[in-house]
Amino acid sequence: MTNNHRPIRTTLLVGILGALAGFAGPLVPEWTGAHPAIRLGVVWPLTAGYALLLARWGHQRLSVVFFPLIVLALWGWHLPSGRGFIVLALATLSWIRSGVCFPAPPGRALIREVIVCGGGAWLAAAPASGSALSWALGIWLFFLVQTLFFAVGESERAHTAGDGVEDRFERAHRKAERILARY
């Protein structure tokens, strides 16, 4: 089975679109004084869109991510601060990615999500001055770190999957035969 999706490229594209939305959001006059849901109108759609992409890449039904996303939206509306919602969004994204779409043993999933999601959140919070540019830079940095999940994990899954994916030793053997055939 051939795999036509490109999760690294698409994750970078989502990061660019999210950065543009993060840049444009604070320019709205009601951004700072209104309910946190207005500010989180950037975070929830990004989380939902990326979760749907994760479900597609993980060969899961799209409906498996609906419940966590609805819970995230309901809790986000009632949380008094935007930071609480962002932490909840990170936890939901981690649950969807490592628990539903790309399941792994609990210890391993926790370690990789702490590295990828926690590291992305730490980098995203680094330029946190509240300005439009810092929001855009933070969102871009977060999604840039998310590509590590696929840069490291994709090669691992490609070598361990048994559904028609070629073994790396088989590929190396074929490459060596082509080199030897030249002489």
**pLDDT of the residue at 155:** 45
82 in any annotated domain: yes
Whole-structure pTM value:
0.74
Say yes or no to pLDDT of 55 above 90.
Answer: yes
Residue 102's domain comprises 7-181
Domain contains 65? yes
In a domain, 16, yes or no: yes
Which residues, 6+ apart, have CB-to-CB distance to 62 below 8 Å?
Answer: 52, 55, 56
Name the E strands within 70-126: none
DSSP letter, residue 1: -
Domain assignment present for residue 166? The answer is yes
In a domain? residue 43: yes
> What is the distance, to the nearest Å, from the Cα of residue 161 to the centroid of all Cα atoms in its chain?
21
Q: What percent of the chain has pLDDT over 70?
A: 79
**Residue among 57, 64, 73 at smallest CA distance from 14:** 57
Number of domains making up the chain: 1
Instruction: Report the 10 Å Cβ neighbour count for 81.
Output: 10
pLDDT tens digits, residue range 62-108?
999 999 999 988 887 777 777 788 888 999 999 999 989 999 888 98
The mean pLDDT of 145-154, rounded to a whole number, is 84
Averaged confidence pLDDT in the chain: 80
Q: Is 2 inside a domain boundary? A: no
Instruction: Report yes or no on 1 lying in a domain.
Output: no
If pLDDT is split at 50, 70 and 90, which confidence band does 175 have? confident
